[in-house]
């Protein structure tokens, strides 16, 4: 790592969050603006570049060592392209070039899951690890892996698509078309879906007291003792725990970090994970592997993008890098 500034850009379907940070993750300035995805790709680029200008303030771009961009995928990371993504209008758009055309510094791109993983590794729960798996459970289930101290991307840059781990072939059909994915059982969306099925049924449950039931209400009512809410979480979180045990047996990591909305569900989440880890992960693995809650919270995206900038610049300088731009 070098002294100097880094900029993280968290590009989302509804908002862009950009921050100026240093190599220790100290945030000097942060700005969030609407993405305005409906106005087309050039408008989005303009919005991104304006946020960079704003967080720079009096700081000169020459003092910024690198910019990292975290974006929904699929991406062509090596060529700096957003291939296409459901909530943004980009089609094979070179987002790296579009930023470099305005700002004369290094720019690196990766998907939001890898950026969040790097964020926890560089600034968050996994700071002292060498092998770390990050799991996010919210709308979907996704994640990333740091292996031997580096983000692991796989052969087509799609590694660690762990939401589509089959954990129960009789499970609900997942958005991917398959049945049994952990995303279809343990995501916040899945928890809400199961809860709403219960609300519409004849089963007596305090979940019926709400106009809208999301996973948050299921956690609230389970904590108050509602049997149905508890049953729903029991199943969803057991399978999340099975995912953790499978990841532990597969990656033998120092730590698995849980982020996303489900990680805010309280003790019940980590108790269920511990239960399945104890049951299913091999002894030397589970005795070593820590399970931690993500630390970056709402700043996961933007600090993750900054962590991407820091780590990729480091690899580029060492010439052991993976991301090579034409």
CB of 121 to a copy of itself, least distance (A): 14
**Residue whose tokens read 């296409």:** 84
**Per-residue contact string for residues 158-177; x = within reach of a copy of itself by CB under 8 A:** xxxxx-xxxxxx------x-
Q: Which of residues 8-37 bind a copy of itself (CB under 8 A)?
A: none
Report the residue count for the chain: 326
Comparing CB distances to a copy of itself, the nearer of 226 and 276 is 276
Q: Report CA Rg, the chain.
A: 20
Tell me if 92 contacts a copy of itself by CB under 8 A: no
Which residues touch 15 (CB under 8 Å, ≥6 apart)? 32, 33, 34, 35
Distance CA 74, CA 252 (A): 27
Q: Do 98 and 44 touch, CB atoms closer than 8 A?
A: no
Considering only residues 32 to 71 of the shown chain, the ones binding a copy of itself according to CB under 8 A are none
* Residue 98 or 308 having the CB closest to a copy of itself: 308
129-158 residues in contact with a copy of itself (CB under 8 A) are 130-131, 147-148, 150, 152-158
Helix (H, G, I), strand (E, B) or coil at 257: strand
Total binding residues toward a copy of itself, as defined by CB under 8 A: 45
Quote the DSSP letter at residue 57. Answer: T
What x/- string results for residues 212 through 251 when contact with a copy of itself is judged by CB under 8 A?
Answer: ------------------------------x--xxx-xxx
Q: What's the rounded Cα separation, in Å, for the pair 76 and 99?
A: 16
Closest CA to 219 of 292, 270, 181: 270
Query: Which residues of the shown chain bind a copy of itself in the complex (CB under 8 A)?
Result: 74, 130-131, 147-148, 150, 152-162, 164-169, 176, 178, 180-181, 242, 245-247, 249-254, 279-282, 284-285, 288-289
């Amino acid at each position: 790592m070098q002294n100097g500034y880094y900029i993280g850009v968290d590009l989302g379907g509804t908002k862009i969050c950009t921050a100026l940070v240093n190599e220790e993750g100290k945030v000097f300035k942060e700005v969030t603006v609407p993405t305005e995805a409906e106005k087309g790709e050039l408008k989005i680029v303009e919005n991104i570049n304006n946020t960079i200008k704003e967080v720079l303030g009096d700081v000169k771009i020459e003092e910024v060592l690198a910019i990292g961009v975290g974006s929904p995928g699929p991406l062509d990371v090596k060529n700096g392209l957003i291939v296409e993504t459901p909530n943004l209008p980009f089609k094979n758009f070179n987002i790296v070039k579009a930023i470099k055309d305005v700002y004369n510094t290094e720019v690196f791109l990766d998907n939001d899951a890898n950026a969040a993983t790097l964020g926890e590794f560089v600034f968050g729960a996994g700071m002292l690890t060498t092998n770390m798996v990050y799991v996010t459970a919210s709308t979907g289930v996704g994640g990333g892996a740091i292996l031997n101290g580096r983000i692991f991307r796989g052969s087509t840059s799609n590694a660690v698509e762990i939401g589509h781990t089959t954990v129960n072939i009789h499970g609900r059909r997942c958005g991917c078309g398959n049945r049994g994915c952990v995303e279809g059982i343990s995501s916040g969306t899945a928890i809400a879906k199961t809860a709403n099925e219960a609300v519409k049924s004849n089963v007596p449950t305090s979940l019926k007291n709400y106009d809208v039931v999301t996973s948050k209400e299921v956690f609230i009512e389970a904590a108050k003792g509602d049997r149905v809410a508890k049953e729903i979480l029991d199943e969803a979180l057991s399978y999340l725990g099975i995912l953790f045990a499978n990841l532990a047996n597969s990656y033998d990591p120092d730590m698995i970090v849980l982020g996303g909305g489900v990680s805010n569900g309280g003790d019940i989440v980590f108790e269920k994970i511990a239960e399945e880890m104890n049951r299913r992960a091999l002894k030397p693995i589970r005795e070593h592997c820590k399970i931690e809650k993500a630390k970056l919270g709402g700043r996961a995206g933007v600090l993750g993008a900054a962590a991407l900038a820091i780590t990729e610049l480091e690899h580029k300088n060492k010439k052991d890098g993976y991301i090579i731009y034409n």
